[in-house]
A and B are shown apart, each in its own frame.
Chain A
């Protein structure tokens, strides 16, 4: 399949006319037609004829073009797309057609990339399994009984199912990394401010990050160097210059120091995942990195910090869906979304603000310090993405608390702002994907992508694809 190849390989193939963009697009639509009725990764598929017309234009166009020109991609359905329905997986916006384009989408359009679909997710980002959606859960391509993870479950499953070459996800507390790990793809949660949030429907503004999802660290590097940078429409986007991420990929890891928080590998962590992580540690040692054990006892408070601040912000961000100007009214919110709005409203109320919101912000400062302490001595921190393999559909939804605990490893990076790369690192005996994450200092994506790429040069995990499409 063409879609098994990396972005660079596909680009070269297109340029050398080994295959046409039309064939590439036909393949992605073919896979959608074959598999998506079972996987349910998409909410809205862009009209095939329109995309094929554009593909033919690419084939007949310039000889020199960008790496992403003609490249099919999908968006998590949080990005507004002019003229194309954008739902955030909620019935509140079930018929909402935006009037403008998100910055990240516009950048990709300008490069000639081809949007295939708007993908399933937990409504508003509220969840870690793509079950809290009004468009039916996304099924994991590796085991259709199981969830794809979330909240960017649709994009992850679509890459895994070869229905697209890459995707733009959104990560507020693990929403890129969690489904990436469970669907055996690579996903990057960027530094806060690295990519413009303009046009991304907000869940928790100070945690929301826009990042690439693909089959490899290399693909993520190619995408990131095209979507990152200051945006005059996003006051929180950073003016820091955008490195050429791909130029760092081939640096040897010799002398790189990676921290392994050993206290995070104990209770609550699935044994098979723990073993996969330890194997990855050995692999890193083989290719020259130095691994040292550290501890991060503060992690026990991560969920508390996240689940106070994120609901507070979401209770305010979702206030505009009042049924007056567009969309449907609040009765269309799901139970999980209502729960988060209520928690946030409560925590911000007079008399409770100090006890909850302010205290959580203070704890956030402690987390920033804890990460700084370790990252001042190490290039990256290595830890699991999920405590368990993908759960069976319905399992997490029936237990809201268990649902929150699934985010244990991924909710602390967003309050701190640091980047984190999720990379496949093995399978359970039932052939369910396992992922690890590499966390770095602010604005060191080039280093994380370098480490991830070097690991992927000596491992084959990321090249595996689910039986359903093999």
Chain B
């Protein structure tokens, strides 16, 4: 009996538009130096206020959908997701339910040496909530009349309320925590390439929620094929790094297997991730699952695209990592490894291309300098890097006399190798050649040196 994890991901990403999703307030919750300074009647949910969608945010959601190979339905709409929480000022979140901006896409990843396709169920747009802070504050009204009396309060900061948020939902195609990590890294990379979000997980502008279940299988073969999903799943929230996502999935997988071993199924629930203890903990069980009473948002007209608009969007997508890797290999003769490292983020890849444009230095050399971090590219311009490499690698041809001198020196101090060579050990000449190269600081020409050596040792 074997077990295989079945994993789907939900990822929330805050878009870095100038203004919020449905109002003109500044979209900079992390840069705000005070709470509740970027607010207005709309994002505070005041009576009578109405949402007006941010065109840029809508376009970016579509762009992300296209970058994830999704279909863009010509008709889309916003819906209300009704639930109560103090950080949700309207009592509902404007989201998308059954007709999101992008559907049925995929992302190809490489696991080990194998290519694998992860299905993208949907990409939709919604608004972020405010932020709750639980604090203890001075309480001058305390009946005890004691100085320094305090009370526990919950404070709400609406700077984040109404920030545009895209949600990406995958199919349950992921089969290991490592696949999940690779998928998430690649998704993160694409989002950064599109320049639609900082996708900073520490700040919470990218949030990860794996949905995990484990299935018993009879054989190790056909690991990827599943007949029927297990009758439960566990959603883990509050994860803010790729490695925590991996750890949480591993923790859950082990937990589920232990339960399945007893002949039971794990409970369907939402769990939180405790990064200090490295464990998940129960937050909400299925019995408490909410009915969000979705219905079409009557304050926002549906969105209708023309086919030409969609093709215009396609033209806006920059070259994405996979295409760029292939082109770097083909165009610059780089190894797959070098091309992959250089394209990890768009800035480095752009930097590389600027540096090789002058064609004064071979692309491989430039790549080597960038990858091995011989130069700090955050401080040096691409032109500066080219100049630096030129200065450091310029070769003055060695005069024959100088070369002769170096060779003689090498032969004098390496008598053992000389003896070895004469005794028929041909490889000894390579050792001597190497010594000459070293002594000449690489200035010696290898072919000439070898010829001279062979003559001298005859």
Contact = CB atoms under 8 A, between A and B. Distances in A.
B291 A349 contact: yes
Interface stretch (B50-58, B167-175, B387-395): B50-58
Interface string A319-352: 1101011000000000000000000010011100
Contact of B295 (A197, A199, A316, A325): A316
Interface string B245-286: 000000000000000000000000000000000000000000
Contacts of A236: 50, 298-301
Interface in A75-92: 78-80, 86, 88
A99 B39 CA distance: 12
Nearest to B90: A320
B51 A235 contact: yes
Interface stretch (A200-208, A252-260, A290-298, A419-427): A200-208
Nearest to A206: B298
B291 A350 contact: yes
A348 B301 contact: no
Contacts of A86: 47
Summarize B's interface: helix, strand, loop or mixed. Answer: loop
Contacts of B82: 315-316, 319, 348
A180 B210 CA distance: 58
A198 B293 contact: no
Contacts of B91: 316, 318-320, 322
Nearest to A92: B47
Smallest CB-CB A-B distances: 7 pairs: A319-B91, A206-B298, A348-B293, A205-B298, A199-B48, A201-B47, A235-B52
Given A236-B300, A316-B293, A80 B52 contact: no
A319 B50 contact: no
A108 B53 CA distance: 27
A443 interface: no
B45 interface: yes
Nearest to A200: B48
A313 B82 CA distance: 11
Contacts of B318: none
Contacts of A357: 295
Contacts of B294: 348
A88 B52 CA distance: 24
Interface string B76-91: 0000101010100111
Nearest to A357: B295
B92 interface: yes
Given A236-B301, A320-B45, A325 B50 contact: no
A202 B92 CA distance: 14
A165 interface: no
A13 B204 CA distance: 64
Nearest to B92: A316
A98 interface: yes
A237 to B, nearest CB: 9
A234 B89 CA distance: 19
Contacts of B301: 235-236
24 contacts: A79-B48, A80-B46, A88-B47, A93-B47, A100-B46, A197-B48, A198-B49, A199-B48, A199-B49, A202-B47, A206-B298, A235-B300, A236-B298, A236-B299, A236-B300, A313-B295, A316-B92, A319-B82, A319-B91, A320-B90, A324-B86, A349-B291, A353-B293, A357-B295
Contacts of B44: 325
B91 to A, nearest CB: 2
Given A232-B52, A235-B51, A319-B84, A205 B41 contact: no
Interface string B28-54: 000000000000010011111111110
Summarize A's interface: helix, strand, loop or mixed. Answer: loop
Given A236-B301, A316-B80, A319-B82, A201 B48 contact: yes
A93 B90 CA distance: 15
Nearest to A346: B293
A287 B298 CA distance: 41
Contacts of B41: 99-100
Interface string B59-99: 00000000000000000000010101010011110000000
Contact size class for A? Answer: 35 or more
A80 B42 CA distance: 13
Interface of B: 41, 44-53, 80, 82, 84, 86, 89-92, 291, 293-295, 298-301
Interface string A160-192: 000000000000000000000000000000000
A96 interface: yes
Nearest to B81: A316
A348 B300 contact: no
A98 B45 CA distance: 12
B70 to A, nearest CB: 25
B298 A235 contact: no
Contacts of B90: 319-320
A14 interface: no
B298 A198 contact: no
A10 B80 CA distance: 46
A461 B91 CA distance: 46
* Interface core residue of B45, B46, B300 (most chain A CB under 10 Å): B46
Contacts of A345: 293
Contacts of B45: 320, 325
B38 to A, nearest CB: 15
Given A201-B48, A236-B299, A315-B82, 6 more contacts: A79-B48, A102-B48, A205-B299, A206-B298, A236-B301, A320-B91
B46 A198 contact: no
A316 B45 CA distance: 12
A233 interface: yes
B293 A322 contact: no
Contacts of A202: 47-48, 299
A312 interface: yes
Given A206-B298, A348-B293, A96 B50 contact: no
A387 to B, nearest CB: 28
A312 B298 CA distance: 11
Nearest to A193: B301
A312 B295 CA distance: 9
B47 A80 contact: yes
Nearest to B291: A350
Contacts of A205: 298-299
Contacts of A232: 52
B50 A198 contact: yes
Contact of A96 (B47, B49, B92, B293): B47
Given A99-B41, A313-B298, A348-B82, A197 B92 contact: no
B324 to A, nearest CB: 38
Nearest to B299: A205
Contacts of A322: 84, 91
Nearest to B91: A319
A348 B48 contact: no
* Interface core residue of B45, B48, B89, B291 (most chain A CB under 10 Å): B48
A236 B51 CA distance: 10
A79 B51 CA distance: 17
Contact of B53 (A93, A102, A201, A235): A235
A247 to B, nearest CB: 30
* Interface core residue of B52, B89, B90, B301 (most chain A CB under 10 Å): B52
A30 B295 CA distance: 48
B50 A235 contact: yes
A319 B91 CA distance: 5
Contacts of B92: 316, 319
Contacts of A204: 298
Contacts of B49: 100, 198-199
A170 to B, nearest CB: 11
Interface in A86-137: 86, 88, 93, 96, 98-100, 102
A333 to B, nearest CB: 14
B89 A320 contact: yes
B86 A80 contact: no
Interface string A226-255: 000000111110000000000000000000
A350 B295 CA distance: 11
